[in-house]
């Protein structure tokens, strides 16, 4: 019987090994599915298996790394190991140490070569065994190579408001999105299937120079055009060529014909990013004297946005959480003396952790912003989500009002900021009702179809401040200098404006749910430092001495049992 049992066991083992070649099975026991790829990612990886070429990934994260970067490297390796299963060996990867070189000259040459391709290093400061600070150069980047096309992939998010552990965890959470995003961009370029988006012009919107930073980030994914709606009166359906349109800072009213073109574009499934200010200022007077009148800005979109379920509040928001600007406090002295003062009209807006657009984003910098009211025109078919909001210490300034920047130094924050968490941007998704329901088609519009009164499921993002997408333009002797979107020259910080605007557009155009990968969350299971200090000796005893004592006791018991058993046999 024992002989047959052995044969049966061997047969089962052989069958299971053969079956494992043809059937793939993996079990992820983590509650958040840490080691499970999304269905979209699996489909994308399977598409790589059909290519007649290899996809190679080079990760510049190797060598003498600290514990945090080792964990990031491990996370990337685990992700790629999972991906390889679905690519049938059409995806390979390797880790490279950029600091590995024969001498300093060769090492610097390696660094320069990487930086010339846009791979910026991160300086890491650590203490050695003797307590001295050591500076290390780390390149938290990867390059994805398909044929002769190479695209970079940033591994580290580097959020300055998070501690190292949290920032690292967020970076690991975002690896799957970053990897699939880069591969999809490559595939779009190779197949020449790039979609189109457009900035709308003709109403005093921001000039192309002031949205060049956003345009460059859009160009990674889309063909970006600019156009005037007046040219579409005879063919309004031509706007359907665009996956989304951006209305950035209009200053003059829209005509009814233009509103009709936008409305019916939305009804047919078009997506819109609205960046509409609620208040108008005299910018020239503000920049020279620090004073300006403020009045409500009417661009003839209020009824349309109201119908969609949102209203731009014609007021200015102040916030205690804001940027700082240098102010001359020397009085009548000939020698100016500048000190940083809070600029309450430029709030640092909080980002929602609940939406894929804003998850893990740092604050977004605004300037003379209004708010959005989502309580209007309740529609069960529309899902509304707040994306940006002020802090818990805010103030609503009704207009008309005379703005005097110098008076901000006299504000008593304790009594001045009497409200909080005022929404400034929101995402709307669902079936929208047309503002032209029960109305005639405006004159001059030539349309071959009737008015569509309810849209197919679609999306829009409404932002009550156009400055969020506006980059600075600084004249210099060498020409115009364009700082990154969200850059604050006084604090030398870059806020989350660029990522917010780009994520908003990706959300609008994402029909397959790729952006949801940004919303993945890996739980941090950290040790309680207070408990560790208080229970140090107990923990050391349990983890160090108790296993040793247990093994010794088991050995004594085993020896005693054997002596008792075989000692009786000898006596007999």
Peptide bond into 449 cis (omega under 30): no
Could you report the average pLDDT of every consecutive run of 10 residues in the chain (572 residues)?
67 73 59 74 90 91 86 92 89 92 90 91 74 80 90 83 71 89 88 90 95 95 94 91 97 96 96 97 83 94 96 96 80 69 93 91 95 90 96 94 84 90 97 93 84 95 97 87 90 92 96 83 61 77 84 86 70 51
- Could you tell me if 87 and 112 lie in one domain? yes
Distance CA 348, CA 353 (A): 16
pLDDT at 559: 83
Distance CA 432, CA 271 (A): 11
- Could you tell me if 85 and 118 lie in one domain? yes
Distance CA 506, CA 511 (A): 10
Please name the residues in contact with 496: beta carbons below 8 A apart, sequence gap of 6 or more: 351, 361, 362, 363, 364, 486
Please name the residues in contact with 542: beta carbons below 8 A apart, sequence gap of 6 or more: none
Q: CA torsion sign, 202 to 203 to 208 to 213? A: negative
Residue pair 413/394 in contact by the 8 Å Cβ criterion: no
- Could you tell me if 168 and 224 lie in one domain? no
Give the DSSP per-residue string, 234-273.
Answer: T-GGGGGG-SEEEEE---SPPPHHHHHHHHHHHHTT-EEE
- Could you tell me if 150 and 227 lie in one domain? no
- Could you tell me if 283 and 386 lie in one domain? yes
Which of 156, 188, 220 marks a domain boundary?
A: 188
Q: Domain range spanning residue 387?
A: 195-519
Residue 564 within a domain: no
pLDDT at 538: 81
- Could you tell me if 232 and 252 lie in one domain? yes
- Could you tell me if 350 and 301 lie in one domain? yes
- Could you tell me if 411 and 305 lie in one domain? yes
Give the DSSP per-residue string, 124-163.
Answer: EEEE-TTS-EEEEEE--EEEEEETTEEEEEE-----TTS-
Residue 158 within a domain: yes
Which of 188, 203, 232 marks a domain boundary?
A: 188
pLDDT at 515: 87
- Local structure of residue 454 (DSSP, 8 states): B
- Local structure of residue 433 (DSSP, 8 states): B
- Could you tell me if 128 and 203 lie in one domain? no
- Could you tell me if 407 and 514 lie in one domain? yes
- Could you tell me if 267 and 165 lie in one domain? no
Residue 569 within a domain: no
- Could you tell me if 166 and 272 lie in one domain? no
Burial class (CB in 10 A: 0-12, 13-18, 19+), 215: buried
Strand, coil or helix: 475: strand
Residue 111 within a domain: yes
Q: What does pTM read for this prediction? A: 0.84
Count of domains forming the chain: 2
Residue 35 within a domain: yes
Q: CA torsion sign, 109 to 110 to 115 to 120? A: negative
Closest Cα to residue 470, out of 211, 273, 280, 250?
Answer: 211
pLDDT at 199: 97
CA distances to 552, 557, 563 from 567, rounded to whole Å, are: 22, 15, 5
Residue 211 within a domain: yes
> What tokens appear for 309 in the block?
């379920």
Distance CA 243, CA 259 (A): 18
Residue 65 within a domain: yes
Which of 188, 214, 233 marks a domain boundary?
A: 188
**CB count in 10 Å sphere of residue 262:** 22
Residue 199 within a domain: yes
Distance CA 320, CA 12 (A): 70
Please name the residues in contact with 460: beta carbons below 8 A apart, sequence gap of 6 or more: 266, 271, 272, 273, 274, 308, 427, 428, 432, 508
């Amino acid at each position: 019987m024992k002989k047959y049992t052995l044969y049966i066991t061997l047969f089962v083992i052989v069958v299971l090994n053969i079956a494992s070649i043809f059937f793939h099975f993996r079990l992820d026991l983590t509650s958040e599915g840490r080691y499970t790829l999304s269905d979209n990612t699996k489909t994308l990886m399977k598409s790589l298996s059909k290519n007649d070429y290899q996809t190679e990934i080079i990760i510049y994260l190797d060598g003498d790394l600290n514990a945090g970067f080792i964990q990031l490297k491990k996370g990337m390796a685990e992700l790629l190991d999972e991906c390889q299963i679905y690519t049938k060996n059409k995806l390979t990867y390797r880790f490279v140490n950029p600091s590995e070189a024969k001498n300093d000259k060769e090492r610097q040459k390696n660094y320069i070569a990487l930086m010339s391709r846009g791979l910026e290093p991160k300086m890491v400061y650590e203490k050695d065994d003797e307590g001295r600070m050591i500076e290390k150069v780390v390149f938290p980047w990867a390059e994805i190579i398909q044929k002769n096309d190479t695209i970079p992939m940033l591994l580290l998010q580097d959020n300055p408001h998070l501690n190292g552990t949290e920032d690292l965890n967020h970076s690991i959470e975002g690896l799957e999105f970053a990897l699939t995003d880069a591969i999809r961009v490559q595939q779009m370029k190779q197949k020449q299937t790039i979609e189109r988006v457009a900035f709308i012009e003709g109403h005093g919107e921001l000039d192309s120079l002031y949205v060049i930073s956003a345009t460059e980030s859009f160009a990674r994914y889309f063909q970006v055009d600019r156009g005037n709606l007046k040219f579409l009166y005879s063919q309004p359906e031509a706007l359907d060529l665009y996956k989304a349109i951006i209305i950035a800072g209009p200053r003059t009213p829209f005509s009814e014909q233009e509103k009709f073109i936008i409305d019916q574009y939305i009804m047919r499934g078009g997506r819109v990013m609205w960046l509409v200010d609620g208040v108008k200022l005299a910018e020239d007077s503000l920049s020279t004297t620090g004073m300006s009148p403020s009045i409500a800005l009417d661009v003839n979109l209020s009824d349309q946005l109201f119908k969609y379920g949102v209203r731009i509040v014609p007021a200015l928001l102040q916030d205690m959480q804001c940027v700082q600007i240098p102010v001359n406090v020397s009085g009548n002295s000939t020698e100016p003396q500048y000190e940083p003062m809070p600029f309450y009209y430029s709030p640092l807006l909080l980002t929602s952790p609940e939406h894929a657009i804003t998850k893990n984003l740092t604050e977004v910098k605004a300037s003379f912003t209004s708010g959005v009211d989502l309580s209007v025109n309740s529609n069960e078919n529309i899902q509304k989500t707040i994306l940006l909001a002020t802090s818990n210490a805010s103030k609503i300034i009704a207009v008309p009002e005379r703005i005097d920047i110098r008076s901000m130094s006299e504000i008593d924050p304790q009594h001045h900021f009497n409200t909080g968490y005022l929404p400034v941007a929101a995402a709307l998704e669902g079936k929208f009702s047309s503002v032209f329901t029960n109305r005639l088609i405006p004159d001059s519009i030539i349309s071959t179809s009737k008015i569509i009164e309810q849209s197919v499921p679609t999306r829009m993002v409404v932002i009550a401040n156009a400055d969020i997408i506006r980059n600075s333009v600084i004249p210099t002797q060498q020409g115009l200098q364009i700082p990154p979107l969200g850059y604050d020259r006084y604090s030398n910080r870059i806020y989350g404006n660029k990522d917010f605007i780009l994520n908003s557009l990706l959300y609008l155009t994402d029909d397959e749910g790729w952006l949801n990968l940004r919303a993945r969350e890996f739980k941090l299971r950290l040790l309680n430092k207070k408990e560790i200090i208080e229970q140090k000796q107990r923990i050391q005893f349990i983890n160090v001495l108790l296993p040793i004592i247990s093994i010794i006791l088991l050995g004594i018991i085993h020896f005693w049992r054997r002596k008792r058993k075989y000692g009786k046999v000898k006596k007999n």
